[in-house]
Chain A
């Protein structure tokens, strides 16, 4: 092979492109390696089942696990029905026109609005407007000590629900759109009402797609820290977050707090790595679930989609 052939075949370009792919894979492996190798030695059962001690530098992360789970469950309960119903409206009920298209575009774009902006929204609207009004109406005797007009797990969950709403709506609409119109027409021809068609045909067919959206939302809810830190995530709690307005610990916030604001970062290091291992494992499990659901969906519809993730 002479030089011209090399240039023609793009030897340089192809090797660069291959190198780029290797870099991406390498970085992925590196992240998992660094976190898991640092975290597994410190990972014991007691780490998952105990409260933190000595300014979070010893003990476990039980409140953070519970806080993250409770917040995410709250969020899921809120976002799934609303998101799916909105998707149903957009896909099955709304007149096909400019408005519907506009709403879908807005939804799509809101998925890209920075999470910290949602955090700001939560502070301005939920904490100050809604929470402040509740305090003034029902807890006026406790003021100026706020009851609901301060960060709490409910406000965090509601803000996160709004943040993940576009994800659920967009992926559900996509899934519903993939159901062929023939199926709907067949259902209607058999005498089914619109609701019966939606309930018996559209929703069952779209379930894998909807579930993908839900898992994506959950995975964002678990991993997103920026809005949470404005909405009631704290360093330490005395008890598990069982009231609507209680402050809570969060795995991601715990990592940030230990890494950036710990009085003794060196001593806190094993704790951070172990917490990051727990968080990354959860994300890994959720992502495997997404891959599994996608696979199922693909087998069902025969259509490959990759854009749903974003």
Chain B
């Protein structure tokens, strides 16, 4: 073989290899799109097992477990009077064992807000304050009546004692742990009492006759007698509009104070609920009986932690860790995986009763100051609503003009009109959205839905409504519906048309009876493609819908779509949070919808083309 041939063959082999590699890279890139979106969304559905950090090996169950407000100070107290304190310094737990000077048996104990003081209720009825820093006793007081349990206010200024037989007592804590009596409430036996998490001076208590009362130290602001079940303990929710009640059957409910109705029900533990605590910074709460301990998210009812041992525990306000005791391992710090606790697939597609509402509703409001509200259904509904209006508007126009252009327009005009439709497809959606926002919406409300008309009909008319969005969106999908329908209509075999005309049918009859039925699958496919395009369209709906995250069936109100939500929220969302991943989930849903629609319609089109070719 001669020299140039070798060179040519070398180039041939080289090019074949390069072409193969490059094309595999590009195909991999296409596949990457979907996998990487899934990769960001999938962690929502999984949580890792709770991690336990051993704190101290103990044989006897403690009487008390607690965190300081900052969460850095952990403490435990035993009935024989031993109390222990640990500092949690970035997961390095340093023991800091202290003993009260008088080795008396204790009945109850609470930790001061800063973790410096512990308040002890002794078996002999005495109330003392212990200073961990100085290692000595600070204040001492003997209450009039024997107490059973202690509580401390969130600011650490007031101590509350639940009377052993009856009554509720409040003690002032001035600086340096001295104690002073302030007020007391006599009456029936109290079984649980709490300070409000946020409002100073607000106290709630539950008595043995199932009366639940909220008292602001001057008057009673709320009272309810539970008759249908037996509450055993309670806690305030983070927002203050609802409380969480533990029941004697081991379940817990969320009770709305405004309407006196059950907001949610949580499957619980075996045995009556004994301890119940809610986080002040988050929306998780935990409760236990003498046999089991569980932790749930208040909104999604997602179970974050469960163990087959009950008893006392403590919930950290800010990090939502649990301090627990197990008979085999002693005191331990548990960190349940609560990263995506506020997401659950069910609650995203169902009505939810949120803290600041009076009934269950569909809401999308992820950055709410109260509970984050991830009602994905709201966005799906908004997308479908806008798309439906767009289809109503565009399908007749596009299909009819496809018929007209294929069969009634002379050839030269046809060649002029078709590129115009293609030009229509080229108009950037941001320009369409801009005109919808700045021209169509004001024009409609000035000339058609005028103020008089709207008030005569008695409807709520928002200037940026689904009609405006649907018209603009319809305008944007006319070209795709037109082009594919036109393709289907004009590819109907001429033999069929000629046969129909030869039988004496008019041109319109031929179109109605022969062309349209033949082209129907193609027209259907074009509508599917238009639908898919409308679902994914972003700029038009972003600019012309007003974007409120609620569900509304009126044709004259604003809405929020999936695509607009991603465009608005993604740039402002912190990375890797539930909200961030939710946006990827929404993107994944959009991807799937459009991908399947495209596959179905392209199959229909291919099949139709084969059929037409066969007939011709």
Listed in ascending order, the chain A residues whose CB lies under 8 Å from chain B are 8-10, 13-14, 16-21, 23-25, 27-28, 31, 34-35, 81-83, 85-86, 88-90, 93-94, 103, 105-110, 112-121, 123-125, 128-129, 162, 165-166, 169, 193-196, 198-199, 219, 222-226, 229-230, 252-253, 255-256, 259-260, 269, 272, 276, 279-280, 283-284, 286-287, 290-291, 306-307, 309-310
Nearest Cβ on chain B to A60's Cβ, whole angstroms: 19
With contacts A34-B435, A120-B566 known, is A125 near B536, CB below 8 A?
Answer: no
| A259→B438 contact, CB < 8 A | yes
Binary contact track B514-555/A, C-beta < 8 Å → 1, others 0: 000000000000000100110111110011000000000000
B466 located at the interface, meaning its Cβ lies under 8 Å from any Cβ of chain A in the complex: no
| B508→A117 contact, CB < 8 A | no
Give A75 to B60 CA distance when docked, in angstroms: 69
| A16→B400 contact, CB < 8 A | yes
**Chain A neighbourhood of B430, CB < 8 A:** 223, 225, 252-253, 255-256, 279
**Chain A neighbourhood of B9, CB < 8 A:** 193
Q: What are 10 contact pairs spanning A and B, CB under 8 A?
A: A8-B508, A23-B401, A82-B25, A85-B19, A86-B26, A108-B598, A109-B595, A230-B570, A259-B438, A283-B428
Give A252 to B419 CA distance when docked, in angstroms: 23
With contacts A223-B428, A229-B567 known, is A113 near B595, CB below 8 A?
Answer: yes
| A103→B27 contact, CB < 8 A | yes
| B594→A113 contact, CB < 8 A | yes
**Chain A neighbourhood of B506, CB < 8 A:** 8-10
Give A34 to B192 CA distance when docked, in angstroms: 70
B575 located at the interface, meaning its Cβ lies under 8 Å from any Cβ of chain A in the complex: yes
| A86→B590 contact, CB < 8 A | no
| A28→B22 contact, CB < 8 A | no
Q: Name the one of A21, A24, A121 contacting B37, with C-beta atoms under 8 angstroms.
A: A121
| A306→B36 contact, CB < 8 A | no
B226 located at the interface, meaning its Cβ lies under 8 Å from any Cβ of chain A in the complex: no
| A276→B431 contact, CB < 8 A | yes
Nearest Cβ on chain B to A130's Cβ, whole angstroms: 10
**Chain B neighbourhood of A114, CB < 8 A:** 535-538, 563, 590-591, 594
Query: Considering the complex, which residues of chain B in the window 557-616 have a beta carbon less than 8 Å from any beta carbon of chain A?
Result: 563, 566-567, 570-571, 575, 583-584, 587, 590-591, 594-595, 597-599, 602
- In the A-B complex, list the 10 residue pairs whose CB atoms are closest, starting with the nearest: A114-B536, A10-B508, A223-B428, A89-B23, A20-B400, A17-B404, A226-B538, A193-B12, A109-B598, A21-B401
Interface size class of chain B, counting residues whose CB lies under 8 Å from the partner chain: 35 or more
Query: Considering the complex, which residues of chain B in the window 45-62 have a beta carbon less than 8 Å from any beta carbon of chain A?
Result: none
Give A4 to B355 CA distance when docked, in angstroms: 66
Nearest Cβ on chain A to B306's Cβ, whole angstroms: 33
| A20→B401 contact, CB < 8 A | yes
Chain A residue with Cβ nearest B595: A109
| B587→A194 contact, CB < 8 A | no
Nearest Cβ on chain A to B576's Cβ, whole angstroms: 8
**Chain A neighbourhood of B602, CB < 8 A:** 105, 108-109
Nearest Cβ on chain A to B231's Cβ, whole angstroms: 46
| B403→A195 contact, CB < 8 A | no
Q: Name the one of B18, B37, B437 contacting A117, with C-beta atoms under 8 angstroms.
A: B37
| B423→A284 contact, CB < 8 A | yes
Chain A residue with Cβ nearest B539: A225
**Chain B neighbourhood of A269, CB < 8 A:** 438
Nearest Cβ on chain B to A307's Cβ, whole angstroms: 6
Nearest Cβ on chain B to A27's Cβ, whole angstroms: 6
